[in-house]
Amino acid sequence: MKRKINALRIMLLVVACTLWCAVGSAQNNIARLDALDIKSFSEGIPGIVTKTNAGGGPLKIGGHYFSSGIGTNGVSVLPFLLDGDAISFTAGVGPDDEANPLSTYKFYVIGDKKILFESKDMKVGDQPEKIQVNLSGIQRLGLLVMVDAANLSRSYSDWVDAAFVMKPGYMPEHIPNTGEKYILTPASSALPKINSAKVFGATAGNPFLFAVAATGVRPMYFTASNLPQGLNIDSATGIISGKVNNKGIYPVVLKAKNKWGETTNILKIKIGDTIALTPPIGWNGWNSWAREIDKDKVLASAHAMVSKGLHNHGWTYINIDDAWQGRREGSDKALQPNEKFPGFKDMADSIHALGLKLGVYSTPWITSYAGYAGGSSNFEDGSYPDSVRDNKRQYRYTGKYRFENADARQMAAWGVDYLKYDWRIDVQSAQRMQEALRKSGRDIVFSISNSAPFDSAATWKKTANVWRTGPDIRDSWTSLYYSAFLLDKWAPYAGPGHWNDADMLIVGNVTTGSKMHPTRLTPDEQYSHVSIFSLLNLPLLIGCPIDQLDAFTLNLLTNDEVIEIDQDPLGKPARLIIEDKGVQVWVKPMEDGSYAVGLFNLAGFGKTPQSFFRWGDEKPVSYQFDFSKAGLLGKWKLRNVWKQQDMGIFSNQFKTVIPHHGVVLLRMYKAG
């Protein structure tokens, strides 16, 4: 009996040892936040950095330095897919010691909609709060920093010594974006249809270029009656060019004809002192290739604009962002392109021959954000030595010698049509470049970037054609919301010749924050994105490689009725009229007396910590739009703009279903 007991004990000991050895050999994964590709997870604004604070300094909370962690700025949103494979999360949190002392910060860890950790309201100088949460069984996790909205500038917050403990073989993943890419807009007809803006402004005596945008089967032939003296139209391409010396308003009758029929439209040409009578619409290269942009990519984008048919819907500008700049040369010491852009004038001519326009980038600083030569220098000859290039962050200021006039003349000589001027905006630099462009002898749309102070909105209206109202946009709902849905206060300052700008469209494949990837906006969010930009009369600048557009994204960008809302000659941005039960109603008056109305299901975004994240169980909402609450009394004929479909006549109200973060975009015509 004793031998049997001993044998049983030995067997149990062997089994226990085997299990212990197995557990010991399969070590858990430690996933530090600063070791992940953390920028690709970030949905906040602006971006995120590792092992430094958001300003590039050391991580420091309450007087304590940390070598491991991440730095964020403003509202920070970090979603992770864990799928039940995480064990725990630990970190220290707090505002960085270099942060804005006026801001108040609050940190959250949220798992499957439950708040697992909530910090106190924290201020600069507070000691870091410690986090240690159990993540057993958690499917989706969110790390959130909320900041007092009144003091977002330099709102640096830190997650230090931050790490997940994961089961062996597992790491945090991205939240999937698996929404159906449903197409709403019907294909264009074979019949000719003119889609150009109804008004165009130019300066007397400057070169004139306008391409008639028209859909329909080619070949197509164009005519223009009552053109002012000095202009001609190419009957095969619809490109109107030349020069008008006399100021005035010229109603021109455009005609487009193919084998299926013909159509006419009125174009009002205004020769005077104001250009950009409708918001610019085109493409910008930064979110496609950033510093890797070159001449071949720019020309390929221009040809893709034509081959994809976007130009037939009014898309016009091909804008080169930062990274084209080289050295200053010649007697004028004007900035010249670098080796990636040989034959700059020939490139511009090729783009103009397609009926498109060319944009470039500059800054009044010594160095651009990407580290290329800017519009000033501490050297009289404008040189940009390696000592400056290698320490570029230290030279983000306006130098002793400025070259606005020389650069504006060179841009005009090349045939540039658009300038993005990028820096921490100040009035004097903006006014100097405005004057230089005015004297250049060419109409060049003047766009200033970024984060124009609202307190000077009246000044930007007088100084620039376009001004960026916030920081760089990212492909996330959080960024879209803060970039566009908070612009109601800016509306009174926008109108023909001067437009608010929320940055590029974040559809298609983008490189915001990390390598090229499909936008993280759901299809519903993308419909909302294009809708709110159009309702607000914002510039529409595609931010993805045009030749990579899939059928969904191309359809999203070629709805002429949506573009017409953006390009309406009245130029009055929509206003937020109703906010009720998670739905916002934006109403925009149109030149013809109708109204464009956007019903957006924001689902209470920003109202709770949980609302910043996508949990996978989001649902549409049923909403009854009460016309009287929007000041639209009586009967109205309603049209679904995305479907290009009449819906009938409605009295007093309209009931519909709106997808989560989606939109119902209406055009309302008085019916009695």
Q: Residues 409, 334: contact at Cβ < 8 Å?
A: yes
Q: Tell me the per-residue pLDDT of 629-669, one tens digit each, with 9 for 90 and over.
A: 999 999 999 999 999 999 999 999 999 999 999 999 999 99
* 422 part of the active site: yes
In this prediction, residue 151 carries a pLDDT of 56
In this prediction, residue 7 carries a pLDDT of 42
| Confidence tier at 21 by pLDDT (50, 70, 90) | very low
Cα dihedral across residues 474, 475, 476, 481: positive or negative: positive
pLDDT(23) > 80: no
Q: How many CB atoms lie within 10 A of CB 18?
A: 10
Cross-strand bridge partners of residue 318: 283, 358
Which segments of the chain belong to CATH 2.60.40.1180?
577-670
pLDDT(70) > 90: yes
pLDDT(18) > 60: no
Question: Measured at the alpha carbon of residue 258, what is the angle toward residues 256 and 260, in degrees to the nearest 5?
Answer: 120
pLDDT(2) > 50: no
In this prediction, residue 27 carries a pLDDT of 86
Q: Tell me the per-residue pLDDT of 99-148, one tens digit each, with 9 for 90 and over.
A: 999 899 999 999 999 999 999 999 999 999 999 999 999 999 999 999 98
Class of the CATH domain delimited by 577-670: mainly beta
pLDDT(579) > 50: yes
* DSSP assignment of 38-107: GGGT--SSS-EEESS-TTSS-EEETTEEESSEEEEESSEEEEEE-TT-EEEEEEEEEE-TTS-TT--EEE
Instruction: Please pick, among 85, 422, 475, 501, the residue that the annotation labels catalytic.
Output: 422
* pLDDT average, residue stretch 37-64: 92
- In CATH terms, is domain 193-272 a member of 2.60.40.10? yes
Alpha-carbon span 286 to 292, nearest angstrom = 9
Q: Tell me the per-residue pLDDT of 247-272, one tens digit each, with 9 for 90 and over.
A: 999 999 999 999 999 999 999 999 99
In this prediction, residue 11 carries a pLDDT of 41
In this prediction, residue 383 carries a pLDDT of 94
Whether a cis peptide bond, with omega within 30° of 0, leads into 101 is no
**SS3 category, 569:** coil
Q: Tell me the per-residue pLDDT of 310-325, one tens digit each, with 9 for 90 and over.
A: 999 999 999 999 999 9
In this prediction, residue 4 carries a pLDDT of 40
Which segments of the chain belong to CATH 3.20.20.70?
281-571
In this prediction, residue 149 carries a pLDDT of 62
Closest to 29 (Cα-Cα) out of 231, 214, 148, 168: 168
Closest to 532 (Cα-Cα) out of 548, 521, 546: 521
Instruction: Please pick, among 34, 322, 407, 472, the residue that the annotation labels catalytic.
Output: 472
Q: Tell me the per-residue pLDDT of 317-354, one tens digit each, with 9 for 90 and over.
A: 999 999 999 999 999 999 999 999 999 999 999 999 99
What Rg, from alpha-carbon coordinates, does the chain have? 28
Alpha-carbon span 505 to 503, nearest angstrom = 7
Q: Which of 43-57, 268-282, 405-419 has the lowest mean pLDDT?
A: 43-57
- High-pLDDT (> 70) share of the chain, %: 95
**What is 281-571's CATH number, 2.170.150.20, 3.40.50.2300, 3.30.70.240, 3.20.20.70?**
3.20.20.70
List the CATH code of the domain at 29-166: 2.60.120.1060
In this prediction, residue 26 carries a pLDDT of 59
